[in-house]
Structure 1
Amino acid sequence: MDPRDLWAEALAGVLARPVRSALTTLGTVLGITTLVITIGVAATAGNQIVGRFDALTATSVTVKVPAPAPGSEDSGPLVPWSGTEAVGRLAGVESVAALGDSPATNSVRVRSNDVNAPGDTSGQTLAVLAASEGVPAGVRGRMTAGRFFDAGNVARHDQVAVLGDQAAKLLGISRVEDSPAVFFKGQSYTVIGVLGGMKREQRLSTAVLLPSTTAGDRLGLRNVTHVLINTALGAAQQVARQAPIALAPGHQDSLNVSAPADLSKARDNVESDVNGLFLVLGLVSLVVGAIGIANVTLVTVMERVGEIGLRRALGASRRQVAGQFLLESTTIGLLGGVVGAALGIAVVVAVAVTKEWTPVLDLTLAFGAPLAGALVGLIAGLYPSLRAARMEPVDALRAPS
């Protein structure tokens, strides 16, 4: 039998009972649709992890510098204030800032005037920290009043200060045009700005920030204790590995680096969880579809015993008879796979549009789903086709039609 004739006969057998064929195909359609939806939605949802992951957390790297060991002050600081410049040159770094604090300056009585009057409540207990010029960008904040100190203030050791927005409110300072001053530890500092809107290190909202040189001269805050690094999305892991080397070459193991988790692992975990939840359902649907195809094909064989006997009597071989019914079941599975893949892709796109996501569709899945359906049909038709091939022509022709 010519392969084209075999295909024509198989197609005629499928189309001879369109309703039955459609109902038989439905099980495969449901199975393939479920699989495509499962894999497509899992990939799409996993892809959103990067986009919906907290961008602040995903791009924030913090380096903690330990306090110098007793007696090691003469050898110089572990991380110099100028070390932030080396970090700023690393690929993927958007901003970097350094802070210096100590237990002795975490609770300092700060006043907005130098007059000790009875019942005066202008004094507040605030933290005083040394800071580099890049702190506003480092904490992702903004100046709500005035300006932040610059390199000139640092170089001149100016007695200037920047208040956190809550500290300014507690001290009753809302404007800096008149050069208000704050007083603590017997020194006065001119307030040149108020820093607010901080998304990192919110503790600075109730703090007084001094230039690193001024804090070192007046309060002994000479050492960097924290380095705040903001990176481009996806660069945090690389920067976390390189920053300690840039800050303290040869002593990078002494620094404690806090970096966000790898986003690719989070995305893979989401895909794995979603796949594990729905994959069983898809496989069960495929099994049900395969059983349906096998059952209907077997019934078809029993109904067409006379036809099988006639074909065998006219010279058709067992292989050709088996191939005809096997091709019919494979065709049904293929049609189910095509329809199921189309429906599954449509559902994935619809879900993505509804959630305002970017749909992630794998071409391998789109083309593999029909093949999977055909494979299911092929496996399901094995037993019925073998049973048809084993029929003897005489017995088949004697069987009641």
Structure 2
Amino acid sequence: MSVVERELEATARVERPWMDPRDLWTEALAGVLARPVRSALTTLGTVLGITTLVITIGVASTAGNQIVGRFDALTATSVTVTVPEPLPGAEDAGPLVPWSGTDAVARLAGVESVAALADSDATDSVLVRANDVSAPGDLSGQTLAVVAASAGLPAAVHGRMTAGRFYDAGDIARRDHVVVLGDQAAQLLGIKRVEDAPAVFFRGQSYTVIGILGGIRREARLSTAVLVPPTTAADRIGLRNITRVLVNTALGAAKQVARQAPIALAPGHQDSLAVVAPPDLSKARAGVRNDANSLFLVLGLVSLVVGAIGIANVTLVTVMERIGEIGLRRSLGASRRQVAGQFLLESTTIGLLGGVVGAALGIAVVVCVAVFKEWTPVLDLRLALGAPLAGALVGLLAGLYPSLRAARMEPVDALRAPS
């Protein structure tokens, strides 16, 4: 062994002084910036992984919130009370739920609209014609459902009058021979306007069409139905008994209304009525978000793994390229811990930069998607702050092996290695 080698080994055995963390950070930053293109390409893997994670969680939360919002508006405020058919021989005792019972439900706290419906198997498929002249090849007749409904039906089904008007309390009291058509029923019958008082005919009787109801969001089957005032339906087609009551409530009032509505409709016989109330919103919200998150979260994790492999590979290559530098630093007094710390800090810095850039890009994409869809973006502050830390952790783990390999190099072997 030469004199120089013995001196280098003796120097390596000397206790190394403590290194200022600022100097260590400066060395690591210099190592990252020494090859900016390589560092940028290495960071790209972490950027893609963090961006995918942020987009996945952010878009899933935003979409889940939007779905739950629609669920709140349509289902969470809807209560349906089903009225059983009267038992044989009990018809003379009167209906279980009178048509005036909807007035008592409307007075309950939290009720926004209510309507009663009456239908039967005998009126589910009725031949309805736009005229009473039957000619060869005439296609004006359609098989439609005929339903008796109270005057509050448009609000109860979230519909709107696209033509004319809905029958009112006066029409019901006078037992007028009028009907309102669902928009699809009117289209099938070829009726687009009601100003000229068109008529429809079924079961040998005529009825004047006074309106067309469209935009039905609840009980969509009513869009292909003929709606008749309850008094007229009782006189002409035998629809007397209410089969179900539709109630719309304010948010948060559905459970309470579901308990009170049967009592208001049939005092003393409320147990005979079946009530369909919305499920628990908190469980639905959690289920939607968890399903959406778990569906795409694996994509972000795979991207992070790919990014970690890229950082580990490039850091290892960097160690091999800088063997001479490592040997020189060790011979000048740098400890194994300091050498490992430098390369470990370089890989952590690359991961941190990737996390910051990826979080920014992910948040921007989530906001753009929400704006494009006209949604309200849902961004968790913990996600925005945790994404850079996750990138740094990926870089830290990816740099462990290359850093340990650099720290194990002996000064003599490192200086002998070809540059």
Provide the TM-score with structure 1 as the length reference: 0.75
How many angstroms does 1:79 deviate by?
2.5
Contact conserved, 2:359 with 2:384, CA < 8 A, in 1? yes
Mapping of residues 1-400 of structure 1, within 5 Å: 1-50=19-68, 60-72=78-90, 77-101=95-119, 131-139=149-157, 140-142=159-161, 144-145=163-164, 148-150=167-169, 158-165=174-181, 194-198=210-214, 199=216, 200=219, 203=222, 207=226, 209-212=228-231, 223-232=241-250, 239-240=257-258, 243-248=261-266, 251-258=269-276, 271-272=289-290, 274-400=292-418
Question: Could you tell me which residue of structure 1 aligns to residue 7 of structure 2?
Answer: none
Question: Could you tell me which residue of structure 1 aligns to residue 5 of structure 2?
Answer: none
Contact conserved, 2:161 with 2:212, CA < 8 A, in 1? yes
Q: 1:255 to 1:12 in 2, by over 3 A?
A: same
The percentage of aligned residue pairs carrying the same residue is 74
Q: Does the residue aligned with 2:247 lie in a helix, a strand or coil?
A: strand
Query: Which segment drifts farther, 320-329 or 261-270?
Result: 261-270
- Structure 2 Cα separation of the partners of residues 304 and 239 of structure 1: 75
Q: 1:174 to 1:322 in 2, by over 3 A?
A: closer
How many angstroms does 1:377 deviate by?
0.3
| Cα deviation digits, residues 300-357 of structure 1 (max 9, x gap) | 2233333333433444333222222111110010011111122222223333334444
Contact conserved, 2:230 with 2:240, CA < 8 A, in 1? no
Q: 1:22 to 1:218 in 2, by over 3 A?
A: closer
How many angstroms does 1:364 deviate by?
1.9
| Cα deviation digits, residues 219-249 of structure 1 (max 9, x gap) | 8765322212234578667655653454345
- Structure 2 Cα separation of the partners of residues 110 and 311 of structure 1: 96
- Structure 1 Cα separation of the partners of residues 40 and 202 of structure 2: 86
Contact conserved, 1:163 with 1:205, CA < 8 A, in 2? no
Q: 1:94 to 1:193 in 2, by over 3 A?
A: farther
- Structure 1 Cα separation of the partners of residues 160 and 85 of structure 2: 27
Contact conserved, 1:144 with 1:195, CA < 8 A, in 2? yes
- Structure 2 Cα separation of the partners of residues 183 and 281 of structure 1: 60
- Cα RMSD (Å): 4.7
Contact conserved, 1:133 with 1:148, CA < 8 A, in 2? yes
Query: Which segment drifts farther, 292-301 or 52-61?
Result: 52-61
How many angstroms does 1:127 deviate by?
7.6
Code of the aligned partner of 1:83: G
- Structure 2 Cα separation of the partners of residues 208 and 289 of structure 1: 63
Code of the aligned partner of 2:118: G
| Cα deviation digits, residues 275-297 of structure 1 (max 9, x gap) | 44543332222112111111221
- Structure 1 Cα separation of the partners of residues 92 and 85 of structure 2: 14
Code of the aligned partner of 2:167: F
Contact conserved, 1:136 with 1:143, CA < 8 A, in 2? no
> 5+ unaligned residues in a row in structure 2: which ranges?
1-18, 136-140
Code of the aligned partner of 1:138: A
- Structure 2 Cα separation of the partners of residues 396 and 126 of structure 1: 91
Provide the TM-score with structure 2 as the length reference: 0.72
